[in-house]
Chain A
Amino acid sequence: MNKTFAATLAVTLSATAVFAQDSFPSGPVTIIVPYGTGGSTDMTARPLAIELENIWGQPVVIENKPGAGSMIGTTEMTQADPDGHTLLINTAAISTAPAIQTDLQFDPEADVTPISLLVTSPYVLAAGSNVKSDDLSAFLEEAEERPMFLGTAGPGSSSHFMSELLIEATDIPADIIHFSGGGEAQTNMMGGHSDTYISTTASVMPYVNDGRTKALAVLAPERFELLPDVPSSGEAGVTGVDINGWVALFGPGGMDPELVDQINADFAEAMATDRMQEQLEANYAVAGDLTPEEFREIYLRDIETWKRLAESRNIGQ
């Protein structure tokens, strides 16, 4: 290629980049939700979009691109321009996928820019009526006598990974049983067909409040501020299970750090609105409140944890 031409092109391109960044957003912003309309991730994204329209004064469009355990929508996001006008809201599924899907069409480190941790809460180990224990240490003893069936929302789901993590950390004899989605895992536990289900606070707490399901522990070193009555796994002396569930914002790889900071701040502002705070409260979750760098560390650490676990526990093979 002609050198002068290449140089001109580079200058033009960087000029465009600076211009775009100065006036972000310069047009409608598309947020890809890699799940169906009306799902819990969609339910976080849609009200956020309304708040962001107020902040940005530009239309914010939610595009539902479900499929392949969120990887269809995620892949599409990684192929977009890194100008901030195409973003993705995904759950921890984006961190488990690299551990089980060997044919991913993107590099989770280079092609994804973690921007904001939007919603986070610890996982809860819940048990149905078949389980006599009321807390984790008693449960571990009970499980030695009667091997438990740990229900999951499906192979490769976060409840599956967390259940495997629990087995690895406590060395209890247990069988994993896969259901199709969290609803089935919950009903089968309530009906006494399976014994436990590990899920986020939002999906399990209504049943705990109703008394049909026991919350044995939050899987964290310390108790969770919104659930002061539920003991932590740390209290039972169990370590190595403290990974949190989250919903987070991502952009394509190679985004300008300043732009990432701006979007992070704008989303923090949107999360602080009454509408979002009410929703968080109803879901027993808190806003992430991390810088992009801090969240990036969590994101990469989770990916590593799941990759290691998938190998040691033979998941997805």
Chain B
Amino acid sequence: MLDRDYRDIVAGLGLTAIGAAAALYALFNYNLGTFTRMGPGMMPVSLGIILAVFGLLIAFPALSRSGDLPPLKIRPMIVMSISIFSFALMIESVGLVPAVFFTTVIATFSETRVPLVSALVLGAGMTLLTWSLFILGLGLPISSFDWPF
């Protein structure tokens, strides 16, 4: 237990920052117009300001309240990013089969529970499953295996 509810303080201030940034960016880049003839900037600016106000409304009461700060799970965040990134990079350059295989195997590293052999088997299984489902069955126009050279 912490002396202040830092979770809501961080959340509220984060929203305020996002809202303010969006409002300022829109203010300088898009035409505001008037209430009767709104330009493209009116809505983002107003929404940004309202979001910033709500952020403060969330953060202020939390100053006089105790609370917990949840732990941040760094490992899954990094591993998932690599896994999804590799899919995005591979799907059009080398095809579905390697993309699915690597995405699956990399994703298993988010936890330490899966032994490498099982991960490889799971990867192979998923590859077979998605290939037969999406390419064989549904005939999606995705190439299954490409050499980029």
Q: Which A residues fall within an 8 A CB radius of B?
A: 61-63
Contact = CB atoms under 8 A, between A and B. Distances in A.
3 contacts: A61-B141, A62-B141, A63-B141
A37 B28 CA distance: 38
Contacts of A63: 141
Nearest to A64: B141
Contacts of B141: 61-63
A80 B141 CA distance: 17
Secondary structure type dominating chain A contacts: strand
Interface in B115-149: 141
Secondary structure type dominating chain B contacts: loop
A62 B139 CA distance: 12
A61 B141 CA distance: 8
Contacts of A61: 141
A62 B141 CA distance: 8
Contacts, number: 3
Interface residues of B, number: 1
A63 B92 CA distance: 13
B95 to A, nearest CB: 15
A67 to B, nearest CB: 15
A69 to B, nearest CB: 16
A28 to B, nearest CB: 10
A63 B40 CA distance: 33
Nearest to A62: B141
Q: What are the 3 tightest A-B residue pairs by CB atom distance, in nearest-first order?
A: A63-B141, A61-B141, A62-B141
A63 B141 CA distance: 7
Contacts of A62: 141
A207 B141 CA distance: 36
Nearest to B142: A63
B138 to A, nearest CB: 12
A315 to B, nearest CB: 14
A196 B141 CA distance: 40
A7 B37 CA distance: 63
A253 B141 CA distance: 25
B124 to A, nearest CB: 28
A37 to B, nearest CB: 10
